[in-house]
C-alpha cells in the first residue's frame, strides 16, 4: 500500500474556469442543483483502520477528486466544438456512453457542435479518408438499443502529432476518448502533445474494459452485461455436459489478465466445476493436477463444466513464439482450444469415453446492448465526463470509486490492472461453489 | 408427385384394441371427450386443384391417419411397462417430450411403470452398465425448464437383437424413441425384429430434428426455438460487422442437408446480406461469384453479414476424404472455418482492409429450453404418441401435417428429407431481404 | 359444415392484369421465380375423408385462392400511390406488417409513393388535421424492433364516403387496412363505395387479432408472441401464489369471444389450476361450482393459479346494463375484478385465510414487439398482401390456411369467429394439465 | 452528519469464539483463506475531506465492522441447529439468499441441521400448524431459478415470547431472518427476549427491500432486478402512448417512502416524461402544476409517459382516513388509480381527446427470479451472514457499504430510510432525461 501513497492524484486543468455553468439555470425552478467543489475528495480505500493508521503516521490517505458539475466552467458552450472517439474491442454500453455524452453536452450545456471520429484513432488520419460524423440528439436518440459502436472502432494507435494536427485544424477543443489501456496511453500522449504546443484542448477518457480490471476503479461499464450473457452460455454448456455420458462443457470467457468475468459468472451460475483464471496457477498432469481431478469428477458425477479465462494457463505456451496484435498487445495463445485438445487426448489415452463440447462465445458477449444496470452506469459516467471536460479538466478519466464518481489522472491507471485477489472472499466463493482444490501437484 | 401416391400410409397394429379407453372416464363430467377414428384421414397436400385432378383420374390423394385418442386401447394400463429413449444431438424440447409422455401415460391412462433408457440406445447394452431411470410425474415435473435431455443421449446404433432381448427380458411392452433419421432407421429395425419374434411390443417414434427437414412434416419441435436463438447471434454478428471498417460477421448455423434455419433466421433478422444453404449452389471466385460480390458490398456499404448453413458449399471439399461420425452420418467439412480462411486470404490478396468475426453458435442453440410455441407443440405431440401407443399402433411416428397431428409409417420418412424450395416463396423472401443474386459465374 | 359450402370464395378484381410483373426480372439471374396462378386453390379442410365424401356427393370442397406473386399485375408501379392504415387495439407485429408492406412495394415492385394514415380511419378525416406520413424504406427500416404501431391507431369507424373522397382526391389507388373485425367491416364498406363510384381502387385487408379467432384462418400474427408474454405473467402469479399461505394468483388474459390465449398459455405453463374461457360455461357457487372446487384445492395444495379470459363468465353480468366502446363493440364487464372480489369475499365468509394477487397484464402483452416466429409470419403475410394488391385484387384479405397463404373475400370472415372446440384435443389438453373438471353444478 | 456520529456501531456477541473455523481447512491446499478480524472497519462515508475534518476535530469517523470469515467460531457445527425465516412482500433473490445460507452452512461449516420456518413468523406459532421444512443442499439446489420464496412468507409480527419459546424448545441456536423494516424490528425484539432469558441464540438479519431504501446501505438485493423489469413495462407504456392520439402511458412502480426504482428506471429507459416520487413534492392543478404541464406536453408531442412511485403524492389523500396492513404499515392510498381518474377527468373537462393506459406491474416485478448481478450479491451476502452467525455475532444485519460487506447493529437501521437526494446527481439526471420542471405552482 505504500506505493499508492506516492500516486499523484491532482487533476490538470486547461486554465481557470470563469464562466457560470448553464446547469445553474435550473436553480430557482424547484430543485436546486448541488454543485461539486474540487475540494471534495473520495477515499480510494474505505478501510477506516488503515485510514486512521495513515493519519496517525502523518500521511494523507489516498483520495480522488469527486466528479460532478462545477459552478464555473472553462469553455464557452456556444463556441465549443467537441469530438468523441471509440477504440479497441466491442464492449456493451459504448453506444450508451456516446449517446449520453451528446445529450449532456447538448441539453445541459448547450454545446451544439459535436462530431464523432470514425473507426477509432484511424478516423483522424486523412489517409484513411473517413468523414467525421455529426452527432446530434436526433442521431443518437436510439443508439443505446444496439450493441457495438455507431462510430466504429479499430485497434492500434496512430501518429500522435497528426491527431493533434487534426484537433487543431478542425477546431476541436474537447476530445472524449472511450477505450482500454492502450487508448488511455495514446490519450495521455495526445494530452502531452497538446500541452507542448500550448493549445487549450481538453482530453477526457472514459475507460472501457469488459474485463473489469481497471486499476483503482470499482466497476467498469459492460462488465455486468457480459457476465449476464456468460451465464447463459454456461447454462448451455451444462446442458450439453449432462446430456452426454462423461460430457464435458468447456467455455472460454474473456479475461486477458484477470479472471473477473469467469469468477463472477461462476458465482452467478453455480453449475461450474472448474474455474481457471490467470491469477490462479494450475498444473495439467501429475497427481492433483487438473486432468486427474477432472477424471475423478467424471468417474463420480459423469459430467463436468469448465470455465477458462482467455489469459489463464499461458505458462503452457512459454516455448512458443510471442505474437502481437495491431494495438501492440501480446496475442495470447488460445487456452480454450489447447485445453480442448489436451483433454480429448487424455481421455483417449485413458481409454475413457468422454464427449467434450467447446464454446467460445466472446463475440456474442461483447456485442450485445448494455443491460439496465450498465445503461444507468453509462449515463452517469458520461454525464460526469462532460462536467469534467466543460470545467476545463484534462488528461484525466472518470471512474467509480466507493460508489462515488471521481476524476483520476490518466497516468495513474495506465499499465496497471486490478486482479482477482486469490485470498479474498470472491475467489473463496468460487472455490466453494466449484469445490475445486488447488489443481497443483 | 406420382411417386408419393405409391407411399403406403397404412399403420401397423399389434392386434385388436378391445379395452375401453380410461380417457373416456371424463365423459359425463362436463366436457365430452371427442375420440378419433382410424377412418379420419388428413390430406398431405391441401391443394384443392391437385386433389380434384387426382380424383378425376381415379386416384386416391395421399393422406395419413389422424392422431388422437381412440375409444378402445390395446394395452391394459395397470400391467403395462413403458420405456423412453432419446438419441442423437440435442434439440430444444426433448425434455418437454419426455415430460409429456410420462404425464400423459400416468394421468390419462393410469400407466405407472415407466422407465428411461440412459444415453440413447447405449443404455440398452448391459456392457455399458447404465441403470434404467424410473420416470414419475414427480421426477419429470420441472425438466422442461432445462435444455438438453435428462435421459442423456448418444450417437450411433447398437445391436438390434440385444435391444429386443432387453425389451423382452425387462417386460417393456411400449417403447418411445425420440431421435432423428438414424434413430428412426434403428426403430424400424427394432420393430421388425420384434415382429419376427412374434412379440407384442409397440414402437412409436417422435421425430427430432432441429433442422426441420423431416419429409412430409410441417414443423418439427425445437426448430422455432433454434431460429429464435440464431436471430440473437445474427444480431451480434451485425453489431461486430458494423463496428469495424469493412467488418464481416460470419455465422455458421445448423442445417446439414437443408437450409431452413438459415433461411428462416434471415427472414426474421433482415440484416443478413448473404444466406448460403445446401439447396442453392454458389461459386466462390470468378465474376459474379461470392467473393467478388462480397467485395462490392464492402466497397459500397462497409460491412457485411453472412449466414451459412453447415451443409452449404460441400462441393468445395470434393477432393477431400470422406469421414463418418458414430451414427454413420457423413461428417461434413467445416464450411464456416473454410469461408473464414478463404475470405481473409482474399482480402489480403486484394490489399483491402477487412475484419472478419466468425461465430459458430451451434452448441448454444441446440441446448436451450424450448420456447413457448415449441413447448406447446411438444406437449401435443407427446400426448398423441401416447394415444397411438396405447391403441396398439406400432412402427409409426407422430407428426404435424396441415395443422393436424397424424400417424406416419416409419419407413415412409426415413432416408428422405424436406428441403428449401428454391423457387418457392420462402427462398424468394430470403433473396429479397438479402438482395443477393445467384452468386454463380 | 354444410353452411360452409355456400361460402362464395371467389375474389374480386379491379380489372384485367396486363402488366408483366417486375418480380419476373429476377428470372435468368439464378433462381427462377415461381409465379402462382389463380387456379391454384387451397382446401379449407384437409380432412381427406370429408373431401372424398363431398366429391362423391357431387359437391366441390371449400377452397381458397392461393396467395403469391402473379405473372401479370394490374397497376403501373411507377404511377401508383398506396396507403396503409392500422386500426383498433395494439397487437405485436403490426410494425412488422407496415415495414414489410413498404419494403415489398418498394423493392419488389418499384412503388415509391407510399403513405401512412395516422391514428386509424380518423386520419382520413380532415377535421382531425392529421398529416399523412410518407413511408420509405428508410423510415420503416427499424420499426419492427418496437411494439405498437408507428402510424398510430384509434377505435371506431368514420364516414365511409369521406374516406373514399380522400382516396380519390389524394390519388391513392391501393389501400392496405390492418385491423380486426370492425376494420374489416369498414373495409368492405369502403370497397363497396369505391365500386359504386366506378373507381379503380384496391382494398386489401391484413386481419389483426391478438385473440387468434379469425374465422377460417389458422394463426393470426401476434398471437404466439402474446402467449409467450402471458406465460411469464403466469409464472409470476404462480410465484406469488406459492409464496403465501393459501395464495391465489389470478391472471386476466385477453380473449373477448375465444379462449385461445388462455388455453395455449395454460398448455405452455402447466402450473395453471383453473382456466376459464368464454367457450366453457361454469358456475360459481353450489356443489361442484368454481368456489367450492377452489377451496378444495387450497385445502389440499395450499395455493392455486387461475387464468381467466376477459370474455369468460359474462353471464354473471346479465342484469347489468350493456355498454359499448368507440368501435361499437360491447364493452365486457371486468370478469377479473369480479372474480377477485367474489373469491375474497367467499374466503372471508368461509373464515379461511387466503391471499389473492390479481394481475391484469393486457397492456404489457399487446404492446411488445413480435417474437421471431411472428416476425417471419408478418413478413410473409405482408408480402402476399402486396402481391394481391398489385395484381388488382380487392375486397379481400390474406391469411394462413393449412400452411398456405390464401385470399379470402372480406365478407366471408367478418362477424364470424373461431372458437376453442371444447370437445377437441386442445381443450382436452388444458383439462388434463389443470386437472379441472366441469365446474358446474 | 453530527447525528450519525452518535450511532453505536459495536456488534453484540453471544460469547467468546474459541473453535477454530473449519473454513481454515482449505489452507495448505493451494489458496490460503484470508480471515477477517473484528478490527477491520469500513468507513460509512468515503469523503476524504469530511473524514479529515472529523479527525482534526478529534472525532472518530463512523465505520462498521467488516464482514467475512473469522478464524475462530462460536458454535460447534456438528451440534448446531439453524433456522431461516422469510417475511413480508416478495423480492427477487430471496430464494438465492435461502439457498446460499444452506450451502454455506452445510459445505463451509459442516452444519447439517437446518430448517425453514414456513410463511414468515406465523410458522413459529403452533396454532397455525405449519410443519418445519428441512433444508438440505438437495432441497435448495435449484430454488434460485424461481421467484418468490420456497419457505412462504406472510405479513405481520407474532408474539415474541412464543417465538423464543419455539427456538428454545426446538433447540435452534442460530436464526436468520430475511425481511424488511418490520422484520428487523421483530428480530431486535427476539434478540432482546433471548438475552433476557440468558439464552445463547444468535439472530442475524438479511435486510430485504425491493425499494433499495435501507439506511446506510448501498444496494439491497432485488433492486437491480426490479428496475430491469420496470424498464420493460415502461417500454410497453411508451408503445401504448405513442400508438394513440394524445396517448398517455401511466405506470405505477414500487417505492413507499423512496423513489429509487422510479428514478433508476427513468435513467435506464429515457422515454419517461414525468417521474413522480415521494421525495419531490408536486401540485396537480394551477399554473405550472402537473396537469397543465402534461397538457402542454400532449399539445407539442402528442404522447406522454408518466412513472409514479406508490408513495408519491400522498398529500392528496390527507383528508382520507388512515388504514393499516397486517404488518402495521400505513396502507398507502393508490396514487396510480387516483392519477388515472384525475387525468381522465381533466382532459374531458378540457375537451381534449386523450387515451390513458394505466399499468400496475408490481406483482410481476417483485416475483421474478434475481438477475445475474443480484444473484451474485445474494450469494455473497448470505455467505457473510453465515460467517457472522457462526462467529457468535447477534442482533445485527449484513449489508453492503462502500463495496465492502459490513456488520450493522439492527437498531441502527430500523425505522430509518434512505431517500433520493433531490439535490444530488441521480435526481438531476432524472430531471435532465425527463425534462420535467418543478411541477409546483
How many helices and strands, by DSSP H and E, does chain B display?
14, 17
Mutation target to probe the A interface, by most A beta carbons within 10 A, among D402, D418, D421, D440 is D402
CA distance C335 to C333: 6
Based on the fold, state whether residues A263 and A182 are members of the same structural domain: no
- Residue B302: per-residue pLDDT: 95
- A 10 A CB-CB count for C30 gives 17
φ, ψ at D70 (rounded to 5°): -100, 150
Q: Which residues of B touch A243 (CB under 8 A)?
A: 90, 148-149, 152-153, 367
Q: Is C431 exposed, middle or buried (0-12, 13-18, 19+ CB in 10 A)?
A: buried
Which listed residue (C96, C181, C211, C283) is catalytic?
Answer: C211
CATH number of the structural domain spanning residue B390: 3.40.50.450
Pairing of strands C247-253, C355-359: parallel
3-state secondary structure of B42: strand
Judge whether C346 and C250 are in contact, CB under 8 Å.
no
Based on the fold, state whether residues D277 and D351 are members of the same structural domain: yes
Give a yes or no: residue D430 inside a domain. Answer: yes
Q: What average pLDDT does chain C have?
A: 92
pLDDT tens track of chain B, all 441 residues?
334 446 788 999 999 999 999 886 554 454 566 789 999 999 998 999 999 888 888 888 889 999 999 999 999 999 999 999 999 999 999 999 999 999 999 988 999 999 999 999 999 998 888 999 999 999 998 899 999 999 999 988 789 999 999 999 999 999 999 999 999 999 999 999 999 999 999 999 999 999 988 888 888 999 999 999 999 999 999 999 999 999 999 999 999 999 999 999 999 998 999 999 999 999 999 999 999 999 999 999 999 999 999 999 999 998 888 787 777 777 788 999 999 999 999 999 999 999 999 999 999 999 999 999 999 999 999 999 999 999 999 999 999 998 899 999 999 888 888 999 988 878 888 988 888 888 988
Judge whether B85 and B130 are in contact, CB under 8 Å.
no
Of A118, A149, A239, the CB nearest to B147: A239
Residue with the three cell numbers 406437449: B379
CA angle D432, D438, D441 (to 5 degrees): 160
Give a yes or no: residue B180 inside a domain. Answer: yes
Q: Cβ contact (<8 Å) for D367 and C240?
A: yes
Residue C12 has pLDDT above 70, yes or no: yes
Judge whether C92 and C158 are in contact, CB under 8 Å.
no
Judged by a CB distance cut-off of 8 A, whether residue D224 touches chain A is yes
Which of D416, D393, D371 lies closest to D180 in space, CA to CA?
D416
Query: What is the DSSP secondary structure assignment for residue D108, as one 8-state letter?
Result: I
Of D147, D240, D367, the CB nearest to C363: D240
Full domain range(s) for residue C303: 226-366+422-434
- Residue A1: per-residue pLDDT: 35
- Residue D216: per-residue pLDDT: 81
CA distance D399 to C92: 42
Based on the fold, state whether residues D146 and D231 are members of the same structural domain: no
φ, ψ at D178 (rounded to 5°): -110, 115
Sequence-ordered list of residues with C-beta below 8 angstroms from that of D215, at least 6 positions apart, any chain = D412, D413, D416, D417, D418
Of C48, C104, C384, the CB nearest to B63: C48
- Radius of gyration of chain D, Cα coordinates, nearest whole angstrom: 24
Based on the fold, state whether residues D148 and D180 are members of the same structural domain: yes
As given in the structure block, the three cell numbers for residue C193 are: 363505395
- Residue D298: per-residue pLDDT: 97
Residue D290 has pLDDT above 90, yes or no: yes
Give a yes or no: residue C417 inside a domain. Answer: no
Chain D nearest-CA residue for A67: D425
pLDDT tens track of chain A, all 441 residues?
334 446 788 999 999 999 999 886 554 454 566 789 999 999 998 999 999 888 888 888 889 999 999 999 999 999 999 999 999 999 999 999 999 999 999 988 999 999 999 999 999 998 888 999 999 999 998 899 999 999 999 988 789 999 999 999 999 999 999 999 999 999 999 999 999 999 999 999 999 999 988 888 888 999 999 999 999 999 999 999 999 999 999 999 999 999 999 999 999 998 999 999 999 999 999 999 999 999 999 999 999 999 999 999 999 998 888 887 777 777 788 999 999 999 999 999 999 999 999 999 999 999 999 999 999 999 999 999 999 999 999 999 999 998 899 999 999 888 888 999 988 878 888 988 898 888 988
Which listed residue (D96, D181, D211, D283) is catalytic?
Answer: D211
Give a yes or no: residue D417 inside a domain. Answer: no
Which listed residue (A96, A181, A211, A213) is catalytic?
Answer: A211
Sequence-ordered list of residues with C-beta below 8 angstroms from that of A121, at least 6 positions apart, any chain = A85, A87, A154, A156, A157, A158, A163, A186
CA distance D120 to D155: 7
Q: Is A28 exposed, middle or buried (0-12, 13-18, 19+ CB in 10 A)?
A: exposed
Q: Which helix (H) or strand (E) holds D190?
A: helix D181-196
Judged by a CB distance cut-off of 8 A, whether residue A337 touches chain B is no
Q: Which residues of C touch D118 (CB under 8 A)?
A: 245
Chain C nearest-CA residue for D365: C236
Q: Which pLDDT tens digit goes with each residue over C337-359?
A: 999 999 999 999 999 999 999 99
Based on the fold, state whether residues C159 and C232 are members of the same structural domain: no
Measured between CA atoms, how close is B66 to chain A, in angstroms? 33
As given in the structure block, the three cell numbers for residue D219 are: 444496494
Of D269, D403, D429, the CB nearest to A402: D403
User: Ramachandran region of residue D77, left (φ > 0), alpha (ψ -120 to 50) or beta?
Assistant: alpha
Residue with the three cell numbers 370437445: C423
Judged by a CB distance cut-off of 8 A, whether residue C246 touches chain D is no
Judge whether C99 and C140 are in contact, CB under 8 Å.
yes
Which D residues, 280 through 319, put their C-beta within 8 Å of a C-beta on chain A?
280
Give the mean model confidence (pLDDT) for residues C264-281. 95
Which segments of D199-351 are extended strands (E)? 202-207, 247-253, 274-276, 303-309
Measured between CA atoms, how close is B208 to chain C, in angstroms? 19
Judged by a CB distance cut-off of 8 A, whether residue A424 touches chain D is yes
Q: Cβ contact (<8 Å) for A243 and B363?
A: no
Q: Mind spelling out the 3-state secondary structure of chain A?
A: CHHHHCCCCCCEECCCCCEECHHHHHCCCCCCCCCCCCCCEEECCCEHHHHHHHHHCCCCCCEEEECCCCCEECCCHHHCEEEEEECCCCCCCHHHHHHHHHHHHHHHCCCCEEEEECCHHHHHCHHHCCCCEECCHHHHCCHHHCCCCCCCECCCCCCHHHHHHHHHHCCCCEEEEEECHHHHHHHHHHHHHHHHCCCCCEEEEEECCCCCCECCCCCCCCHHHHHHHHHHHHHHHHHHHHHECCEEEEEEECCCCCCHHHHHHHHHCCCCCEEECCCCCCCCCCCCCHHHHHHHHHHHHCEEEEEEECCCCHHHHCCCCCCECCCCCECCCCHHHHHHHHHHHHHHHCCCCCEEEEECCHHHHHCCCCCHHHHHHHHHHHHHHHHHHHCCEECEEEEEECCEEEEEEHHHCCCCECCCCCCCHHHHHHHHHHCCCCCCC
Q: Is A217 exposed, middle or buried (0-12, 13-18, 19+ CB in 10 A)?
A: buried
Based on the fold, state whether residues A199 and A238 are members of the same structural domain: no
Give the mean model confidence (pLDDT) for residues C249-265. 96
CATH number of the structural domain spanning residue B274: 3.40.50.460
Q: Cβ contact (<8 Å) for D372 and A224?
A: yes
Q: Cβ contact (<8 Å) for A243 and B364?
A: no
- A 10 A CB-CB count for B286 gives 11
CA distance D308 to D361: 12
Which of A366, A428, A401, A416 lies closest to A223 in space, CA to CA?
A366
Of A245, A364, A368, the CB nearest to B154: A245
* Alpha helices, DSSP H, located in C40-93: 48-56
Least confident of A376-390, C163-177, C412-426: C412-426
Based on the fold, state whether residues D198 and D237 are members of the same structural domain: no
Q: Is B38 exposed, middle or buried (0-12, 13-18, 19+ CB in 10 A)?
A: middle
Judge whether A312 and A251 are in contact, CB under 8 Å.
no
Which of B386, B22, B75 lies closest to B200 in space, CA to CA?
B75
- Radius of gyration of chain C, Cα coordinates, nearest whole angstrom: 24
Measured between CA atoms, how close is D144 to chain A, in angstroms? 10
Number of CB pairs, chain B paired with chain C, less than 8 A apart: 185
Q: Is D239 exposed, middle or buried (0-12, 13-18, 19+ CB in 10 A)?
A: buried
Measured between CA atoms, how close is B31 to chain C, in angstroms? 6
Measured between CA atoms, how close is A91 to chain B, in angstroms? 10
As given in the structure block, the three cell numbers for residue C257 are: 369471444
Q: Cβ contact (<8 Å) for D154 and C357?
A: no
φ, ψ at A222 (rounded to 5°): 95, -25
Based on the fold, state whether residues A136 and A55 are members of the same structural domain: yes
Which of C218, C209, C217 lies closest to C255 in space, CA to CA?
C209
3-state secondary structure of B247: strand
φ, ψ at A204 (rounded to 5°): -115, 130
Give a yes or no: residue B441 inside a domain. Answer: no
What is this structure's pTM?
A: 0.93
- Cα distances from C166 to residues C101, C124, D187, in angstroms, run 21, 7, 72
3-state secondary structure of D341: helix
Q: Cβ contact (<8 Å) for B43 and C48?
A: yes
Judged by a CB distance cut-off of 8 A, whether residue A43 touches chain D is yes
Q: Cβ contact (<8 Å) for D236 and C363?
A: yes
As given in the structure block, the three cell numbers for residue C184 are: 374489416
3-state secondary structure of C270: coil
Q: Cβ contact (<8 Å) for B148 and A357?
A: no
Judge whether A221 and A380 are in contact, CB under 8 Å.
no
Measured between CA atoms, how close is C371 to chain B, in angstroms? 8
CA angle B77, B79, B82 (to 5 degrees): 75
As given in the structure block, the three cell numbers for residue C424 are: 377437441
Based on the fold, state whether residues C380 and C284 are members of the same structural domain: no
Judged by a CB distance cut-off of 8 A, whether residue C228 touches chain B is yes
- Residue B31: per-residue pLDDT: 52
Judged by a CB distance cut-off of 8 A, whether residue A246 touches chain B is no
What domain count does chain D have? 2
As given in the structure block, the three cell numbers for residue B420 are: 428449401
Give a yes or no: residue C259 inside a domain. Answer: yes
Query: What is the DSSP secondary structure assignment for residue B398, as one 8-state letter?
Result: E
Going C69 to C73 to C74 to C79, the CA torsion angle's sign is positive
Give a yes or no: residue C439 inside a domain. Answer: no
Looking at this predicted complex, what is its ipTM? 0.92
Residue D351 has pLDDT above 50, yes or no: yes
Give a yes or no: residue B417 inside a domain. Answer: no
Pairing of strands D393-394, D12-13: antiparallel
Based on the fold, state whether residues A192 and A241 are members of the same structural domain: no
- Residue A24: per-residue pLDDT: 62
Q: Cβ contact (<8 Å) for B46 and C49?
A: no
CA distance B351 to B340: 17
Judge whether A359 and A236 are in contact, CB under 8 Å.
yes
Number of CB pairs, chain A paired with chain D, less than 8 A apart: 187
Query: What is the DSSP secondary structure assignment for residue D67, as one 8-state letter?
Result: P
Number of CB pairs, chain A paired with chain B, less than 8 A apart: 90
Of D107, D224, D270, the CB nearest to A373: D224
Based on the fold, state whether residues B146 and B61 are members of the same structural domain: yes
Sequence-ordered list of residues with C-beta below 8 angstroms from that of B432, at least 6 positions apart, any chain = C103, C104, C107, C108, C383
Measured between CA atoms, how close is D245 to chain C, in angstroms? 6
Based on the fold, state whether residues C273 and C405 are members of the same structural domain: no
Amino acid at each position: 500500500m505504500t506505493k499508492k501513497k506516492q500516486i499523484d492524484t491532482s487533476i490538470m486543468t486547461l486554465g481557470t474556469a470563469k464562466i457560470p455553468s448553464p446547469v445553474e439555470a435550473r436553480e430557482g425552478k424547484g430543485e436546486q442543483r448541488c454543485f461539486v467543489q474540487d475540494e471534495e475528495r473520495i477515499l480510494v480505500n474505505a478501510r477506516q483502520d488503515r485510514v486512521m493508521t495513515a493519519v496517525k503516521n502523518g500521511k494523507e490517505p489516498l483520495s480522488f477528486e469527486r466528479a460532478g458539475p462545477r459552478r464555473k466552467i472553462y469553455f464557452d458552450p456556444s463556441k465549443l466544438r467537441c469530438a468523441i472517439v471509440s477504440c479497441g474491442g466491442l464492449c456493451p454500453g459504448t453506444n450508451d456512453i456516446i449517446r449520453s455524452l451528446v445529450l449532456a453536452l447538448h441539453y445541459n450545456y448547450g454545446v451544439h457542435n459535436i462530431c464523432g471520429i470514425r473507426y477509432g484513432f484511424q478516423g483522424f488520419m486523412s489517409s484513411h479518408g473517413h468523414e467525421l460524423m455529426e452527432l446530434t440528439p436526433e442521431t443518437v436518440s436510439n443508439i443505446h438499443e444496439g450493441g457495438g459502436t455507431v462510430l466504429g472502432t479499430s485497434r492500434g494507435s496512430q501518429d500522435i502529432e497528426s491527431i493533434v494536427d487534426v484537433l487543431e485544424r478542425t477546431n476541436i477543443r474537447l476530445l472524449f476518448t472511450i477505450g482500454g489501456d492502450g487508448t488511455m496511453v495514446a490519450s495521455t500522449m495526445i494530452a502531452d502533445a497538446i500541452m507542448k504546443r500550448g493549445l487549450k484542448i481538453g482530453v477526457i477518457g472514459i475507460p472501457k474494459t469488459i474485463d473489469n480490471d481497471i486499476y483503482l476503479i470499482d466497476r467498469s461499464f459492460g462488465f455486468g452485461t457480459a457476465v449476464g450473457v456468460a451465464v447463459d452460455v454456461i447454462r448451455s454448456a451444462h446442458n450439453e455436459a449432462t446430456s452426454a455420458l462423461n460430457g464435458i462443457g468447456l467455455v472460454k470467457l474473456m479475461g486477458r489478465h484477470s479472471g473477473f468475468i469467469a469468477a463472477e459468472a461462476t458465482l452467478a451460475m453455480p453449475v461450474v466445476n472448474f474455474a481457471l483464471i490467470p491469477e490462479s496457477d494450475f498444473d495439467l498432469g501429475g497427481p492433483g493436477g487438473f486432468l486427474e481431478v477432472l477424471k475423478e469428477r467424471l468417474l463420480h458425477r459423469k459430467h463436468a463444466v469448465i470455465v477458462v479465462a482467455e489469459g489463464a494457463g499461458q505458462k503452457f505456451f512459454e516455448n512458443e513464439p510471442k505474437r502481437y496484435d495491431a494495438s501492440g498487445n501480446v496475442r495470447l495463445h488460445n487456452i480454450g482450444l489447447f485445453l480442448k485438445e489436451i483433454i480429448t487426448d487424455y481421455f483417449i489415452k485413458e481409454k475413457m469415453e468422454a464427449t467434450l463440447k467447446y464454446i467460445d462465445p466472446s463475440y456474442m458477449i461483447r456485442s450485445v446492448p448494455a443491460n439496465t444496470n450498465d445503461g444507468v452506469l453509462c449515463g452517469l459516467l458520461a454525464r460526469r465526463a462532460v462536467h469534467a471536460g466543460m470545467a476545463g479538466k484534462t488528461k484525466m478519466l472518470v471512474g467509480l470509486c466507493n460508489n462515488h464518481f471521481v476524476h483520476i489522472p490518466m497516468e495513474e491507471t495506465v499499465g496497471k490492472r486490478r486482479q482477482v485477489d486469490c485470498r479474498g472472499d470472491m475467489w473463496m466463493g468460487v472455490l466453494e461453489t466449484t469445490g475445486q482444490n488447488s489443481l497443483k501437484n
